[in-house]
Amino acid sequence: MNISKCQSPMKITFAACFVLSAMLATFSTVNGQCVESPSVHDITTGLREPLGTALSNQGNLIVSETGTSVPNSGRISIVNADGDRRTLLDGLPSAINDVFDPSGPDGIFMRGRTLYVAMGVGDVGRPGPGPGTTIPNPAGPSSPIFSSVLAIQFSANAENTTSGYTLTAEQQQALADGETVSFAGHRGDKMFVRMIANFPNYISAPLPTFAGNIRLSNPFGLVAVDDTLYVTDGGRNLVWQVDLLTGSFSQLVSFPAIPNPLFGVPGLPGGPFLDAVPTGIATSGDDLLVTLFRGVPFPQGTSTVERISPATATDTTFITGRKNAIDVFQAEDGSYYVLQHASAGPFFGSPGLVLRFDDPAGAPAVLAHCLSRPASMTLDHKTGKLYVSEYGGRLVSVTL
């Protein structure tokens, strides 16, 4: 997921840590094991680290899988209501990143028959000579389409009948060269893939201790509004705006680092500042909602949901006091749903949560509290089911 090395080596002063004691009191355990609500049901398991989910107009769940340790194992899958999985597109670039996790397809967004896919950073970078430093991969990236956004157009017939296609290395290069890659099946189904935006793989970010340090571009979440695509970049700590007609892109907003309240605690890594690490993104009226995951060691209470105005390029903190907020959306009744990757302590040992806020400034209702490193959520308005992907390979539904 490339969110485990999100730290900044700048200097700060110590700040107090917010404790989510009221939320933790809602958990139920038996023999130390978390007991999930009966409203949570398994849909399917064994996926290749699913990160993004979207609902098609055919009622299927589209899932992006970032891949495994095997190169080019990124995949887009179709999962029906019974949990049956079929491949839409395999062979998407995936590689072990600079923190030794698979990195490939990240967030997805579907509008009509077009699926937009954020491609992660892959193996563009490698660990530098000191803690918190990164250098370009001396061998070069294994794919030319890391740190980009793809658009996949496929018909309803393709969605319902395809047995899947596989992208080759030559086709990856064709996409990087601005070409459209097409696929056709035996039943007349067709699919077209093209690159919408190709962000810089990295920028120079010199440090006092290491002048050769770089900062990687890591697109994670995206949402389309009219002819503009908004993309969170968890490596660069910003939101891109992409013109879908021309492919041009620019920075909409960036998020500053904040003091690390756990800096100096014995045994905990992390510098004096925490990077923002924007992840999930959704629309809310004319504005955008963006979750800030925050960086190593992922302290409790430092994660927030931000409200962004695209018209004025301004950012206002909207929901505070979270831990590893990774996805968000506003429901039709005006309430806000926040997905937390974990719930307590540093790092990710605690269960993940689905929270509902009727008032952004108030206490949330806990709708699911035993999730294992959840990464994305998608609401089916027709059935009232909330689909949640987990980094370990599982998809679940939460009945609301």
Per-residue pLDDT of the chain (400 residues; tens, 9 = 90+): 555 444 332 222 222 222 222 233 333 333 345 777 778 999 999 999 999 999 999 999 999 999 999 999 999 999 998 999 999 999 999 999 999 999 999 999 999 999 999 999 999 999 999 988 999 999 999 999 999 999 999 999 999 999 999 999 999 999 999 999 999 977 778 899 999 999 999 999 999 999 999 999 999 999 999 999 999 999 999 999 999 999 999 999 999 999 999 999 999 999 999 999 999 999 999 999 999 999 999 999 999 999 999 999 999 999 999 999 999 999 999 999 999 999 998 999 899 999 999 999 999 999 999 999 999 999 999 999 999 999 999 999 999 8
Domain-embedded: residue 1: no
Residue 24 placed within a domain: yes
Q: How many domains does the chain have?
A: 1
CA 361 to mean position of chain CA atoms: 25
3-class state of residue 24 by DSSP: helix
Q: Which of 247, 228, 256 is nearest to 150 (CA)?
A: 247
The answer to whether residue 261 sits within a structural domain is: yes
Peptide bond into 297 cis (omega under 30): yes
Asked whether residue 326 is assigned to any structural domain, the reply reads: yes
CATH classification of the domain holding 268: 2.120.10.30
DSSP codes, 156-219? HHHHHH---EE--HHHHHHHHTTPPEEEE-TTS-EEEEEEEEE--SEEE--BTTBTT-EEE--E
Q: List phi, psi (to 5°) of 307.
A: -110, 120
State the Cα–Cα distance between residues 194 and 72, nearest whole angstrom: 17
Report yes or no on 64 lying in a domain. Answer: yes
Q: What is the pTM of this model?
A: 0.92
* Structural domain containing residue 92: 7-399
2 found inside a domain: no
In a domain, 260, yes or no: yes
Q: How far apart are CA 145 and CA 104, in angstroms?
A: 10
Instruction: Answer whether residue 162 is part of any domain.
Output: yes
